[in-house]
Amino acid sequence: MLTEFEVQAKERCAAWGGRLIEANGEPDHVHLLIELPPTAALAEFVNALKTGTSRRLRTMFAQELAGVYSKPVLWSRSYCVLSCGGAPLEIIKQYIQQQDRPDD
């Protein structure tokens, strides 16, 4: 699922005029390092990303998710957006890469 999520996140970033730099996650959350134009409304982007990926992932992985999710949602409503203008991107990429990614 995480691999498919990355594909979808990359597409969504491109649709917004940005790019996905790095993505990874753990069983209960994901980390994305993205670049978006300064005119992008981050809350709208996150909402579009979570809505679209939830719908598609729930369809693609319906059997795997049936015993885990009783409601038609995948993501929680919460999210965290951090600006990393001063931090070296390689350090942030390394942090994301080191997440305890579940086996595909």
Is 87 contained in some domain? yes
pTM: 0.84
Could you report the per-residue pLDDT of 17-73, keeping only the tens digit for each? 999 999 999 888 899 999 999 999 999 999 999 999 999 999 999 988 888 877 778
The phi and psi torsions of 83 (rounded to 5 degrees) equal -90, 140
Which residue segment(s) compose the domain that 16 sits in?
A: 2-97
CATH number, residue 46: 3.30.70.1290
Whether 103 maps to a domain, the answer reads: no
User: Does residue 104 register a pLDDT over 60?
Assistant: no
82 pLDDT above the threshold of 80: yes
pLDDT on residue 11:
97
Q: What is the 3-state secondary structure (H, E, C) of the chain?
A: CHHHHHHHHHHHHHHCCCEEEEEEEECCEEEEEEECCCCCCHHHHHHHHHHHHHHHHHHHCHHHHHCCCCCCCCCCCCCCCCCCCCCCHHHHHHHHHCCCCCCC
Give the torsion sign (CA, 84, 74, 69, 102): negative
User: How many domains would you assign to the chain?
Assistant: 1
